[in-house]
Amino acid sequence: MLATTGALPFGANGIAIDEAAGLLYVNNAGDGRVLRMPLAGGKLDVLADGVYGADGLLLHDGLLWVASNQIDAVVALDANGLVRARAGHFDDIGNDGAPLGLLFPAATAVQGKRMLVANLALPLTPREGDEWEEKVTRWNLVQFDIPEVDPR
């Protein structure tokens, strides 16, 4: 379940532990699955599928935030794997060579009510001119207010 089966050349690429719930989370960036298993041992199961380019994981306020580099966004999953919030978008490359917004987000952190996201901006194809990431000359962190969560 952790080997790459998708188009991206990555397998297990993010990890988070929820000690209170006794769960380990790991993602598979290659096929978009977010997996979990009991810390005490047991079966690895799929929490969510289709989080393409799932990268860094972060537990915050009962939600698992996943940097999804193939959609240039961060999504929040609940305990059932449902998306409760989504944040971020890509606008362009600034005059300074840094992404405006999220471009291949890789890792997240929280400070107070703000989320910080590192842009990896990694080109993945050998062809030149087909990815925004090729234009990046300066890498950056993006920060924004943590979005409201869908209460459903």
Whether residue 2 is contained in a domain is answered as no
Asked whether the predicted pLDDT for residue 9 surpasses 90, the reply is no
- Under a CB-based contact definition with an 8 Å cutoff, are residues 51 and 66 in contact? yes
Whether residue 5 is contained in a domain is answered as no
DSSP the chain: --S--SSSS-SEEEEEEETTTTEEEEEETTTTEEEEEETTS---EEEES--TTEEEEEEETTEEEEEETTTTEEEEE-TTS-EEEEE--EEEE-TTS-EEE-SSEEEEEEETTEEEEEE------SSTTS-GGGG--S--EEEEEPPPPP--
Asked whether the predicted pLDDT for residue 149 surpasses 70, the reply is yes
Whether residue 34 is contained in a domain is answered as yes
Provide the domain limits for residue 111.
Answer: 12-145
Query: Structurally, how many domains does the chain consist of?
Result: 1
Whether residue 152 is contained in a domain is answered as no
pLDDT tens digits, one per residue of 12-68: 788 999 999 999 999 988 888 999 999 999 999 999 998 988 889 999 999 999 999
For strands 83-87 and 73-77, give the pairing.
antiparallel
Of 56, 67, 2, 66, nearest to 31 (Cα)?
A: 2
Distance CA 132, CA 150 (A): 31
Whether residue 55 is contained in a domain is answered as yes
Residue 98: per-residue pLDDT: 94
Whether residue 114 is contained in a domain is answered as yes
CATH of the domain at 69: 2.120.10.30
Whether residue 151 is contained in a domain is answered as no
Where residue 70 falls (left for φ over 0; alpha for ψ -120 to 50; beta otherwise) is: alpha
Asked whether the predicted pLDDT for residue 137 surpasses 70, the reply is yes
Whether residue 88 is contained in a domain is answered as yes
**pLDDT averaged over every residue in the chain:** 89
- Under a CB-based contact definition with an 8 Å cutoff, are residues 44 and 37 in contact? yes
pLDDT tens digits, one per residue of 65-93: 999 988 999 999 999 999 999 999 999 99
CA 69, 74, 80: angle at the middle one, nearest 5?
A: 110
pLDDT tens digits, one per residue of 117-127: 999 887 777 78
Residue 68: per-residue pLDDT: 93
* Contacts of 128 by beta carbon, 8 Å cutoff, 6+ apart: 134
